[in-house]
Amino acid sequence: MNILVTGGAGYIGSILTEELVANGHTVVVYDNLVMGHRAAVHSKAAFVEADIADTGVLTRTLKEHSIEAVMHLAAYTSVGESVANPEKYIQNNYVASVSLLDAMVEAGVTRIVFSSTAAVYGEPKKLPLTEEDETSPINTYGESKLAVEKALWKYNENHGLRFVALRYFNVGGASLHNGEWHDPETHLIPDILNTARGKDEILEIYGNDYPTPDGTCVRDYIHVKDLANAHILALNALDDFSGVYNLGTGIGNSVREVIEAARRITGAPIPVKFIERRPGDPAVLTASAEKIKRELGWKPQDDNLDKILGSYWLWLQNNPNGYDDKV
């Protein structure tokens, strides 16, 4: 199939592109390189450097490459930033996504896999979260993604657009070729391993007074390769139906547990200090992934912290400057 991957030069998009190419698909990476890296674009993919808000370029790209499905990952993804600067998230994650849907309708493209998030749930009333649970985001990041999900249902009803929205929980790990590299970095696993290798002096832990066993937030960490694989299953299911799936493992790990695992794997002491809670952080987020396992046959292979941390640690050893010294 001819597939457009928005955000294909980013962390998850680049690894998804690897999997798509390995499965015989023809990929066009569409990325404005604000967060993505030119060196992360797969050598077998075509590359269009543009913004999804640029409807003219987008519609032309869909038509010229005879795109049959879109995988829409391009977005800003920092929970804290979305609280501090909500307009950025409304504009880029929601408004621009709707213009992408319009471009698809205009070009006659009827399939989309959308990167949604666990942040759509807000503070859970029960755990693990299922797709039927109430959505009540507590940050603009989650709101912006939920608004796109709602738009997808409308475009489904009114334009026959078929979609799968994948609600990612906490994605980590690396492939041999690509890994997470943001500037500034706000995500826990890169922050921990950057402290382990001395790039950062100390890891700041946001809060130790959450209602969790050790006082730090609990999250459900999923390996990026398992996540990429779920997109391929979603793509294959799009002929039959539209729907929403959680992508997590059901296993919760606290911030302290992730740090302990990283100390074990790296042998580094990883100094930490506790600071105030970060606004917009729910105490616990864990997924029930039964629906995607049952309906799409998803089988995570690397669903443990050691494999997630180990693969990213290896990538950092091989790429100490990330993409900064590559062209």
Contacts to ligand UFG by CB under 6 A = 77, 79, 117-119, 168-170, 186-188, 191, 203-206, 217, 219, 255, 278, 281, 285
**Residue 146 CB, nearest approach to ligand UFG (Å):** 11
Distance from C-alpha of 294 to C-alpha of 84, rounded to nearest angstrom:
39
Q: Output the 3-class SS for 83-150.
A: HHCHHHHHHHHHHHHHHHHHHHHHHCCCEEEEEEEHHHCCCCCCCCECCCCCCCCCCHHHHHHHHHHH
Residue number, 107 or 227, with CB nearest to ligand UFG: 227
Distance from C-alpha of 35 to C-alpha of 182, rounded to nearest angstrom:
7
Residue number, 32 or 170, with CB nearest to ligand UFG: 170
**Residue 138 CB, nearest approach to ligand UFG (Å):** 11
**Residue 114 CB, nearest approach to ligand UFG (Å):** 13
Residue number, 77 or 140, with CB nearest to ligand UFG: 77
Residue number, 69 or 120, with CB nearest to ligand UFG: 120
**Residue 288 CB, nearest approach to ligand UFG (Å):** 14
**Residues taking part in catalysis:** 141
Residue number, 19 or 191, with CB nearest to ligand UFG: 191
CB closest to ligand UFG, residue no:
217
Residue number, 19 or 81, with CB nearest to ligand UFG: 81
